[in-house]
């Protein structure tokens, strides 16, 4: 069973609010990732981190930001939520080696009204 947790599972929030999606893992993985999943189910990498104090933009441009102050914690922040941010957000971690898989949290479904 994967030891990676996301909170909240569901969030409905008004336009303009600041939100933080939490992601924590207890596996000691250096590599962590945030994906945005659209209704067609395709995954888009929006942020990743190779370790503490390392953050990189992913393939899909996003207005969100991330931080990695501790190995186990990789929160995602939206300073001012908009309806276009409505989506499913998935956090993952891995050892980041060639033959190792990624472990996913259960996701946060965000709705901005």
Do residues 8 and 24 touch, judged by C-beta distance below 8 A?
A: no
- Residue 95 half-sphere exposure toward CB, CA atoms < 13 A: 5
CB nearer to other proteins: give 80 or 97. 97
Quote the CA–CA distance of 21 and 109 in Å, as a whole number: 10
Other beta carbons less than 10 A from residue 32's beta carbon: 29
Query: Rule CB under 8 A: which of 1-40 touch other proteins?
Result: 2, 6, 30-31, 33, 40
Which of residues 11, 13, 45, 60 is near other proteins by CB under 8 A?
A: 45
105 near other proteins (CB under 8 A): yes
Q: By CB under 8 A, tell whether 69 contacts other proteins.
A: no
Euclidean distance between CA atoms 39 and 7, whole angstroms: 20
Write the CB contacts of 8 (distance below 8 Å, at least 6 apart in sequence).
Answer: 21, 22, 108
Least distance to other proteins, CB of residue 98, Å: 5
Binding to other proteins by residue 61, rule CB under 8 A? no
Of 25, 66, 94, 110, the one binding other proteins by CB under 8 A? 94
Task: State the residues that interact with other proteins by CB under 8 A.
Answer: 2, 6, 30-31, 33, 40-43, 45, 48, 50-51, 54, 90, 92, 94, 96-107
């Amino acid at each position: 069973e994967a030891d990676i947790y996301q909170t909240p599972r569901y969030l409905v929030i008004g336009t303009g609010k600041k939100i933080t999606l939490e992601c924590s893992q207890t596996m000691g993985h250096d590599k962590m990732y945030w994906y945005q999943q659209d209704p067609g189910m395709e995954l888009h990498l929006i942020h990743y981190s190779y370790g503490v104090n390392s953050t990189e933009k992913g393939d899909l441009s996003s207005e969100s930001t991330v931080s990695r102050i501790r190995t186990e914690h990789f929160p995602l922040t939206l300073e001012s939520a908009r309806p276009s941010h409505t989506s499913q957000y998935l956090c993952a971690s891995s050892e980041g080696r060639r033959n190792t898989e990624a472990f996913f949290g259960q996701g946060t479904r965000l709705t901005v009204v």
